[in-house]
Structure 1
């Protein structure tokens, strides 16, 4: 198992969000490893996906490597339990940010990471990084194909709209005012 996957697995095992996702995935139709690899690769441009490490979360919340990569990106397949496609592919700095988010820790500032979600995202809350469903007072959004910049300094994020109910057709900040704020930039 590659070194970053054992760390991700440890964070995923303790994360409430990961456990909820694992429970949802256990109820969803199973995907073959080949289908998960195809799904994960679709999150990024073809050359990035082709060289990326591909991982998947099992029903117990642990990550397993489906294919080792060589370009520093890690891609995850769509979660079949969520509405709509949501595969993602991230660079090493974005993996550090994701580990912090999953582990409810503060991510390092100035360690800028990049995430592709070229198939779009499922419904998401723009005010609570840990919301798992719509609730009174939270803003639930549908996102199309986009990329994300994570881990930048606050001054970078201050240049973009930080509305609780943003226009998702232009760049905006998701989870503003939290340690996990990041730039969402549509690509269509």
Structure 2
């Protein structure tokens, strides 16, 4: 079983939205009248079937049936875990990282996301990945996909889930809308959250500018 990530790390990661560089995320907690009984139902996310099922939780509910799922299989190989029929690609949790993190994004973002995974595999840091992709997007070598494309993230500190409900223990949901080179002035959005559940713009003026939205628990 993977180790739980400290709460403070989770808080810091609320501001991170790129599957190529982030390690963990959040989602609605599973609660019952008997927490002890509920925890007894939790099992490790340690099979391809479990990784597919939990990865799909990052996709909008109406799009889960047709979403493609990619990620690491039981043999440690990065593969297509399930073919898809719609515009979404879901990235399953990495079993080699602590906590749980799944993401789902519009297919037009795949070149950008794939490039991030390639650079990460080369050992590049988050800062290096950002700088290299910024340069490649500006030069036209790399596309950021369609303006307004979305990335949905479902993450939490524990890599365990309830097979009956499909919920990941302690996980929560957030999503972003990519708006390359947008700024606070061009969108009217603040550069930091001013209230719970309030959208704001992150990485303004860069290739990775995006609107960040973190629904309140129970409203996602």
Fold agreement, TM-score > 0.5: yes
Q: TM-score band (shorter)?
A: 0.5 to 0.7
Aligned to 1:41: 56
Are 1:116 and 2:131 an aligned pair? no
Unaligned runs of 5+ in 1: 1-16, 22-28, 123-142
Instruction: Tell which has more relative contact order, 1 or 2 (C-alpha 8 A, sep 6+).
Output: 2
Structure 1 residue 51 displacement after superposition: 0.5
Contact 1:175 1:182 in 2 (8 A): yes
Name which of 82, 97, 100 aligns with 1:67. Answer: 82
Name which of 169, 172, 175 aligns with 2:203. Answer: 175
Q: Secondary structure at the match of 1:37?
A: helix
Q: Distance in 2 between matches of 1:149 and 1:176?
A: 12
Q: Secondary structure at the match of 2:101?
A: coil
Unaligned runs of 5+ in 2: 1-18, 24-43, 120-128, 138-142, 158-170
Residue-by-residue CA offset, 1:150-169 (whole Å, 9 max, x unaligned)? 14442586422213x76563
Q: Distance in 1 between matches of 2:155 and 2:21?
A: 22
Are 1:90 and 2:105 an aligned pair? yes
TM-score (norm 1): 0.58
Q: 1:58 to 1:72 in 2, by over 3 A?
A: same
Q: Distance in 1 between matches of 2:206 and 2:189?
A: 15
Residue-by-residue CA offset, 1:47-92 (whole Å, 9 max, x unaligned)? 3121111111369986311111110211012345344x43111111
Q: Distance in 1 between matches of 2:75 and 2:203?
A: 27
Q: 1:150 to 1:59 in 2, by over 3 A?
A: farther
Q: Distance in 2 between matches of 1:41 and 1:183?
A: 22
CA RMSD of aligned residues (A): 3.6
Contact 1:76 1:89 in 2 (8 A): yes
Contact 1:94 1:151 in 2 (8 A): no
Q: 1:153 to 1:92 in 2, by over 3 A?
A: same
How many residues in Structure 1 have an aligned counterpart in Structure 2?
142
Name the larger-Rg structure: 2
